Amino acid sequence: MTTDLYAHVISKSDFGKNIKWSQVSTDIALRVNPVPVNTNIALDITDQQLQSLGMSEEEYVAIRTSEILTESINEWNPHSSYHITTSIDTTLPSVGSGVNTFRFSDDRRFFGSGVIGVTTIGYNSDGGEITSADILLNQSTLAGTVLTLNKSDSAKTLTFENSFKRHAYIGDVITHELGHFFGLTHTDTVGASMVFSIFKGQYSISRDDKAGIEKNYGINVQNTGLISGKVVAGDDVKEIFGVNVKLFSMQSNESVSYTHLRAHETDSYLVC
């Protein structure tokens, strides 16, 4: 007998509650500014093709970003009881204003070194209910990566503006950030969109991603097998900040399930 093992990780509030949307309306309004803050984005067409369209590079990037965002949203929406709806707004309020937004940004305050995208979430610390979220794609020099509209170039190191730079397909980044938007955090599962590093094909969510969002929102919850246990430290250990519990496949030697324990919450684990 075989069964699927999942390693999705759901974000938790300070009191251990799942972070998720729980508003009355099942539609989550997302205001979108698809206009880049600069033109350091690799296109998926040639300069000649762009010229024949009669568009500026900025206009083309905005149109393609809107299309790619819609594709990424359609990856997640069918698996949640809440659905993202978008509207274009090129005059967005500031990040953290209580309005759900999507934008490009070169504001280095929001990004660490090497970070391509960020999702900031406001939530109730007691119950974990999300109140608002902002998705930002990094166009500052801190990213160290070129955003591209060409999905076949993702995770490749290619020439851009006379230097070699690693490329990241915008759809790979957006789909990953939307997972955070819905309350998921990073996983170790190979092929999952919620893996913390960019890889080609990340724009399409995996079975593990689907299982994570469905579990968070109580949809199609299957009665799969469970493994439970307790983490025990040695007698000389005074304090543990946190513990990662992983299950590995004896066949592939890859991590197939994962959970994280914070020391102040519990010493017991349950993995499905």
Burial 187-222 (b: 16+ CB within 10 A, else e): bbbeebbbbeebbeebbebbebbbbbbbbbbeeeee
Taking each helix axis from N to C end, the angle separating 170-181 and 57-76, rounded to the nearest 10 degrees, works out to 50
The whole-number pLDDT of residue 263 equals 46
Average pLDDT, consecutive stretches of 10 residues, N- to C-terminus, the chain (272 residues): 62 92 95 96 96 97 98 96 97 97 96 94 95 97 90 90 87 98 92 94 95 90 58 63 62 58 48 52
Helical (H) or strand (E) element with 22:
none
Give how far Cα 27 sits from Cα of 30, 80, 144, 161, 210, Å. 9, 11, 35, 41, 19
Cα end-to-end distance, the chain, whole Å: 16
Alpha helices for the chain (secondary structure H): 47-53, 57-76, 170-181, 207-216
DSSP state at residue 73: H
The answer to whether the CB of 42 falls within 8 A of the CB of 154 is no
The whole-number pLDDT of residue 3 equals 47
Task: Tell me how long the chain is.
Answer: 272
Concatenate the DSSP letters of all residues of 139-191 into one string.
Answer: -SGGG-EEEES-GGGTT-EEEETTEEEEEEEHHHHHHHHHHHHTTEE-B--TT
The answer to whether the CB of 158 falls within 8 A of the CB of 189 is no
Give how far Cα 66 sits from Cα of 36, 105, 215, Å. 11, 16, 28
pTM of the full structure: 0.83
